[in-house]
Amino acid sequence: MTPPPRAARLTAPVPAAAPTPALTIDALGKKCPIPIIMLADRIRDVQVGQLIAVLADDPAAKTDLPAWCALKSQDFVQMEDLAAGWSFLVRRSY
């Protein structure tokens, strides 16, 4: 498991409604398709219904994370701005 302090430090303030991810994948500094590969490799590390946060700063991730979720019928929850890059929240749906 990723140590929570690092994730907490990197993630922008979470809106009150957004629950805490069960797993955070740090793909900052990685070019696409690496963030997608990391997500695909690790989505089964959480329970169905749980959330994964993917931190990435490659601009292609903004299109590719939601597109991957649509292709794989996973639930894309939201994208938040970080100081550098974005945090993408995905719910494992099956």
Partner 1 sequence: MAYFDAASAEPLHPQAREALLTALADGWADPARLHREGRRARLLLDQARESVAGLLGCRADELSFTTSGTQAVQLAVLGVVQARQSASRGPGHLVTSAVEHSSVLDAADWLARRTGTTVTTTGVDRLGRADLAEFTAALQPGRTLVACLQTANHEVGTLQPVAQAAAECADRQVPLLVDAAASAGRLPIPAGWSVLAASAHKWGGPAGVGLLAVRKGTRWREPLPAGDRENHRVPGYPDVPAVLAAAAALTAMDRERDASGGALRALTSRLRAAVPELIGDTVVHGDPDDRLAHVVTFSCLYVDGEALVTELDKAGFSVSSGSACVSDTRQPSHVLAAMGVLTHGNVRVSLPRTATPESIEEFLTVLPPIVARVRDTVRAANSS
CA dihedral 2, 6, 9, 13 (to 10 degrees): 0
CB closer to partner 1, 17 vs 94? 94
Q: Which of 14, 18, 22, 32 is catalytic?
A: 32
Least distance in Å: CB of 32 to partner 1? Answer: 4
Q: Looking up tokens 């219904």, which residue turns up?
A: 49
The C-alpha atoms of residue 82 and residue 56 are separated, in whole angstroms, by 9
Shortest Cβ 20–partner 1 spacing (Å) = 26
Exposure on the CB side of residue 46, measured as CA atoms within 13 A: 25
Toward partner 1, which CB reaches closer, 9 or 44? 44
Tell me which DSSP letter residue 15 carries. P
Q: How many CB atoms lie within 10 A of CB 31?
A: 12
User: What minimum distance in Å lies between the beta carbon of 38 and partner 1?
Assistant: 7
Whether 32 is a known active-site residue: answer yes
| Interacting residue ranges for partner 1, rule: CB under 8 A | 30-34, 36-38, 40, 58-60, 62-64, 66-68, 70-71
Which residues are annotated as catalytic?
32
